[in-house]
Amino acid sequence: MSSKIIASPLAGKTVGSLGQDFIIAEWQDAGAPPGPPRWIAPLHLHHKDDEAWYVLEGKLQVRVGDEIHEAGAGCAVFVPRGTAHTYWNPDPAPVRYLLIMTSNIYALVQGIHSLPERSAAALKTLFEKHDSVLL
């Protein structure tokens, strides 16, 4: 079995692997200058997968449906399947967080990062392949 059981330190790595029920990844965002949100992920929804974030340092803003939630260090946000969502770092300071996702969402994220061109058509097709919709 090639799945990771322990990743220490977790930074930049994942616990779990494709084919398992869930994966935990530690990610970060360096921050952005003031102005409109710079989305880490575009507005989308997953038909069959739940997703959650746990903030370790800094803060995230997460849009869940029509509501915006601010999560500081020690806070978590859960997005149930079928709910439109996006998230971003609202500050110029870095944020570090855990993303708890299904194997299907992880495969979608890997697919996005490996696309040679992130055209609207290519993204739409990729999201559909993973039972998700780019809104």
Domains of the chain: 14-134 (2.60.120.10)
**Pairing assessment for the beta strands 14-15 and 76-79 based on DSSP bridges:** unpaired
Q: Return mean pLDDT, the chain.
A: 90
pTM of the model: 0.86
Residue 28's nearest CA partner among 52, 57, 3, 67 is: 57
Quickly state the pLDDT bin for 8 (edges 50, 70, 90): low
Going along the chain, which residue ranges are E strands? 14-15, 23-29, 39-46, 51-57, 59-64, 67-72, 76-79, 85-88, 95-101, 132-134
What is the tens place of the pLDDT at every residue in 55-95? 999 999 999 999 999 999 999 999 999 999 999 999 999 99
Mean pLDDT, range 125-133, rounded to an integer: 98
Positive/negative CA dihedral, 52, 124, 65, 82? negative
Tokens of 133: 């919709």
